[in-house]
A and B are shown apart, each in its own frame.
Chain A
Amino acid sequence: MTRHYSALSLLREGLNGQRGWQPAWQDADPKPRYDAIVIGGGGHGLATAYYLAKNHGITNVALIERGWIGGGNTGRNTTIIRSNYFFPETAAFFEFALKLYEDLSRELNYNIMFSQRGMWMLGHDRHGMEMLRRSANAMRLNGIDAELHNEAGVRAEIPGLNDSPRFPILGGLNQPRGGSARHDAVAWGYARAASALGVDIIQNCEVQGFLIEDGHVRGVETSRGTIRSECVGMAVAGHSTVVAEKAGVRLPISSYALQAFVSEPVKPCLDTVLLSPATGTYLSQSDKGELVIGAGLDLYLSYAQRGNLPWMERAAAGVIELFPAFSRMRFLRQWAGICDVVHDSTPIIGATDLGGFYVNCGWGTGGFKAIPAGGWCLAHAMATGASHPLASAFSLDRFRTGALIDEASASGIAH
């Protein structure tokens, strides 16, 4: 039976007719009691379960997923990874995530196809350029790689840009270590590694309520029965308010749909990730050859995972404005995910007023890049009862004390 992935095991299984592979993870049935329960089988939940086992030796863990693992936003995003934030707290956190990503394929023995192809942000007017210069300086002060380029520099690195665009390209900010990874592989890799350490991965199991005694959580009610634990962590992205409400915990979150789409696959033509705030565009090319294009958040609350046409049209117009050559390409498919948006565009990680109940939420449109650090810090909070130093500023209490970390205005994050 082959578990470890290596050149040798590939060769052996190749000669063997590929009959010796084991399932990547065990699909478990719920037990009555666990040392810890993680709700939500997206990247953050799976990473939490893995680090509970790996970093803290807590292996009697249930990971409970309503549908199938990776079927939420983790399997729906445009896979961009970067750490170009402004404030020291957020920069340190997302840089920690990026560093974990750099080693993740080796650590999990699973190829997440992390490709550090660079992440460019374009400046289209004087104010845009000033923002980029400010961002570049902030990033360098925070010890993060950043390059500021003029128009010629951008055009030398990114072929095919419009020669006479309506929004002139004055320059760009590149984070060379930014890039993208295969999103499903991140979920599957964590699931496989967590399962190997003894975590029960329970799919098709919806958390419908909480057992609470004396202000402390004692377990969850699910569509597959009662599961007890004194320690429950939640990472359910767009459904954070809905699930937390069942535990009597109110969160300062609003849910909006964010959509993306891919084109038909073409030969390699774009070898970096590109963001253009002025034209409302972000895109990259997948290893399959599809252009992966993201649109903006819907402007009204939504739990409908489908997005809308006006935003799709706007994003497409932005892409064509930047790359006229793409105008004849066809869309292959379109989808949306539900994002949990908070006022300062900074996540919430840590304890709640309900004893033993911890949350990881508020990622808005940008939590894929955070998965390793989000899981690391939620696991730390669940295992120790204390906030991890990297996440201590991301408390729920900041909305009351006013210690917001306003990345929405500082680094122009859309959510």
Chain B
Amino acid sequence: MLLITCPHCGPRAEIEFRCGGEGHIARPGPHDAVSDAEWADYLFYRTNPKGEHRERWLHSAGCGQWFNVARDTMTHQISAVYPMGETLPEASPAKEAAR
């Protein structure tokens, strides 16, 4: 079971959360200039790494806020939690590991 540290409420059990999948996805546009392949990519194609993954989580049974998480899909180790709208913090272990 995951222990996830909500930036607003602190560490809580996995069952309080909902995972919203890959983070940092930008909708392509302008809409009439986007090819079918690009729409398919945006709608159906996701990164699916065996290793570090950036994803969004919702503290649905708590404060109701979304936030970003960097998590390893093999070990479930969470290396960073950071607010929506921000990129992975420079000092995070995930960033270090990527170097």
Q: Which residues of A contact B (CB under 8 A)?
A: 239, 241-242, 250-255, 299-304, 308-310, 342-343, 399-401
Interface size on B, residues (CB 8 A): 25
A399 to B37 alpha-carbon distance, docked (Å): 8
Known: A308-B14, A400-B36, A401-B36. A303 touches B73 (CB 8 A): yes
Name the prevailing secondary structure of the A interface residues. Answer: loop
Stretch at the interface among B26-34, B45-53, B79-87, B88-96: B45-53
B24 within 8 A of A: no
| Complex contact A253–B48 (CB within 8 A) | yes
A251 to B37 alpha-carbon distance, docked (Å): 13
B50's contact among A300, A303, A309, A400, by CB below 8 Å, is which? Answer: A303
Least CB distance from A254 to B in Å reads 5
| Complex contact B14–A255 (CB within 8 A) | no
| Complex contact B44–A252 (CB within 8 A) | yes
| Complex contact A400–B37 (CB within 8 A) | yes
| Complex contact A254–B46 (CB within 8 A) | yes
| Complex contact B19–A299 (CB within 8 A) | yes
12 contacts between A and B (CB under 8 A): A252-B40, A252-B44, A255-B73, A299-B18, A299-B19, A302-B73, A304-B74, A304-B76, A310-B1, A343-B43, A400-B37, A400-B40
Q: In chain A, what residue has the closest Cβ to B14?
A: A310
Closest 5 pairs (CB-CB, A-B): A300-B19, A252-B44, A241-B48, A400-B40, A399-B44
> Which residues in A have their C-beta under 8 angstroms from that of B40?
252, 399-400
Least CB distance from B79 to A in Å reads 15
> Which residues in A have their C-beta under 8 angstroms from that of B13?
310
Which residues, 49 to 84 on B, are CB-close (under 8 Å) to A?
50, 53, 55, 71, 73-76
Interface string of B1-39 (1 = CB under 8 A from A): 110000000000111001101000000000000001101
Q: In chain B, what residue has the closest Cβ to A305?
A: B74
> Which residues in B have their C-beta under 8 angstroms from that of A253?
48
A239 to B51 alpha-carbon distance, docked (Å): 13
Q: In chain A, what residue has the closest Cβ to B19?
A: A300
> Which residues in A have their C-beta under 8 angstroms from that of B55?
300-301
> Which residues in A have their C-beta under 8 angstroms from that of B14?
308, 310
Least CB distance from A19 to B in Å reads 45
Least CB distance from A148 to B in Å reads 35
> Which residues in B have their C-beta under 8 angstroms from that of A308?
1-2, 14
| Complex contact B73–A310 (CB within 8 A) | no
Q: A308-B14, A400-B39 are in contact. List 15 more A-B contacts (CB 8 A).
A: A251-B45, A252-B45, A253-B48, A254-B46, A254-B48, A299-B19, A301-B55, A301-B73, A302-B73, A303-B73, A308-B1, A310-B14, A343-B44, A399-B40, A400-B37
Known: A300-B71, A301-B55, A302-B73. A310 touches B15 (CB 8 A): yes
> Which residues in B have their C-beta under 8 angstroms from that of A303?
50, 73-74
| Complex contact A255–B37 (CB within 8 A) | no
> Which residues in B have their C-beta under 8 angstroms from that of A299?
18-19
> Which residues in B have their C-beta under 8 angstroms from that of A401?
36
Least CB distance from A292 to B in Å reads 23
> Which residues in A have their C-beta under 8 angstroms from that of B21?
254
Select the residue from A253, A254, A342 with max chain B CB neighbours within 10 A.
A254
Least CB distance from B66 to A in Å reads 14
